[in-house]
Amino acid sequence: MELDDGLGDDRPPPPLLPLDDRIWRHPSEIAPPPGTRRTVPDRVAGAGLWQVGLLAGSISALLTVGLVVVGGGFRVRTVTPGAAPAVERVVAPAAATPVTAPGSPANAIVDIAEHMRPAIVQIRVSGGEGPGSGSGVVFRSDGHVLTNHHVVDGARRITVVMANGEEESARLVGSDPDTDVAVVKVDKTDLASAPLGSAASLRVGQLAVAIGSPLGLSGGPSVSVGVISAVGREIDAGGEGPPLLDMIQTDAPIAPGSSGGALVDGAGAVIGVTTAIAVSEVGAEGLGFATPIDIARDVAEQIIASGRAVHVWLGVEGEDVDPGTAKEIGVAGGALIRDVRPDSPAGRAGIAARDVIIAVDGVPVRSMGALKVQLRSHRPGDEVTLALHRGNEARSLKVKLAERPPRP
C-alpha cells in the first residue's frame, strides 16, 4: 500500500550515500549484536515520529476535554466519562505572594498519604441542581464525616464511597452555610478516622498536603503537595453566600471535587477542610482555600449535639476602617461601625455608628472580618469587653452577646 503525502512530489528519492560516507544510520541498517533477540516488531520500531506525535496529541486532547472542563459558579460541572460531576465552590482569586515549596523527604509524604487516605471519602449527591460529587473526612470512628455545606446543599440522596471502594448510604446530620461546614453520617462503626490538629499556630511556608477525591474519579483519594501560602484570608463569595472568614490559603493543587477533603500538616494532622478554589476569567489561579479545622470541628460538634450551629450576635454592620481615619485616631486598624440594631446587644451596650472597635477582650482586631472571627469563639450569654474609639476618645464597653436571630 502506498501513501500519498499530497505534496505533488512523486519523484523517487535519491539513492542513499554509501554507509561509510554518512554520519547517520536508519535503524533498519543497524544489525543487532550476535545473539541479541529483537523484542520490538520492525514495523513498530520503524514507525514515523509524526505518527507517535499525532497519537500523543490526540490522547492529550481527549484527556484535556474529559478532565479539565470547568464552569463558573459554586457548582462546577466537570465533564468526565463515567464519573459524577464535581460540586466545587469557586471564588475570585485573592492576591498572594508566590512561594516555592521547600524540599520535603519523599517518604514523609508517603507516610502521611498512607496514614490519611483511609479516612478520606468521596461523597456523591443527587437532587438539588443534579448529581455531583465532593469529598469528606471521617473524623469520628462511629461514622461521622466532615464535609462542606455546598457539597450536600439540597441533596436528596447522599452516598459515601470509602477509600477501599465500598459504598454506604449516608444521612445529613446538619450543615452551616456561614462556615460552609456540614456533617453526614454512615451507619458503620470502627472506621479509620483522621487525626485533627489545629490551625492556630500555622506559619506561612510550612508544608501542606491536600487529600481529596477530585472529579469523582474511582480508585481512592488523591494527594497533592504544597505550602501554606497565607493565613487569615477573607474571601468574598460574590453574592452567592456569606464571606468566608479566616481562611487558610495554599498552593497545594485542589481540583474540583476535592471540596470537603483534608488539608494536612507535616505531622500528618488535619489543619483544615478544603473549601474553595480561586478561578478567574483566565481559569484556575492555583490558589486553594481551607476552613481552619478549629472552626470546622467546633461547628461539627454543635451540629452533632443539636443538629445546628449557634452563632453569637453583636448586632452591628460595618466595614474596615480606612487608613486616613486609622491614622487620625492613632490605631493600626479596626472595624468601623456603620449601623447598630437598637434591640441588639451592641445597641443595649451603647455602641454607636462611627465607633471604631479595635479590640475584643484585649485581642486587637484590625478589620470587620477580624471582629467576626474573634466573636466566633464565644457563646450566647458570654460577656466581652470591647475597646473602641469614638472620635478621638478611647472607650471600653462591656457587651453581653446573644444568639443571632434567624436570617430574613
Residues 207-236 have pLDDT tens digits of 999 999 887 677 778 899 999 999 988 887
Give the pLDDT score at 258.
87
- pTM for this structure? 0.70
Q: What percent of the chain has pLDDT over 90?
A: 52
Catalytic center residues: 150, 180, 259
Q: What is the mean pLDDT of the chain?
A: 77
Question: How does DSSP classify residue 140?
Answer: S
Would you place residue 25 in the very low, low, confident or very high pLDDT band (cuts 50, 70, 90)? very low
The residue with greater pLDDT, 324 or 10, is 324
What CA–CA distance (Å, rounded) separates 185 from 140? 10
Instruction: Confirm if 210 and 112 have CB atoms less than 8 A apart.
Output: no
Q: Quick one: cell of 106? A: 519523599
Phi (first) and psi of residue 20, to 5 degrees? -70, -15
| Residue 89 pLDDT | 53
Q: How many angstroms separate the CA atoms of 284 and 277, rounded? A: 8
Mean pLDDT of 293-303: 95
β 157-161/244-250 pair status: unpaired
Q: Let me know: does 293 contact 197? Beta carbons within 8 Å.
A: yes
C-alpha to C-alpha distance for 229 and 248, rounded to whole angstroms: 8
Residue range 106-134, pLDDT digits in tens: 678 899 999 999 999 999 998 866 678 89
Whether residue 16 is predicted with pLDDT greater than 80 in this model: the reply is: no
> What are the chain's domains?
71-309 (2.40.10.120), 312-403 (2.30.42.10)
Phi, psi of 396 (to 5 degrees): -135, 125
pLDDT at 53: 29
Q: State the average pLDDT over residues 334-344.
A: 94
Distance, in Å, from the CA atom of 122 to the CA atom of 113, rounded to the nearest integer, reads 16
Residue 272 has pLDDT above 70, yes or no: yes
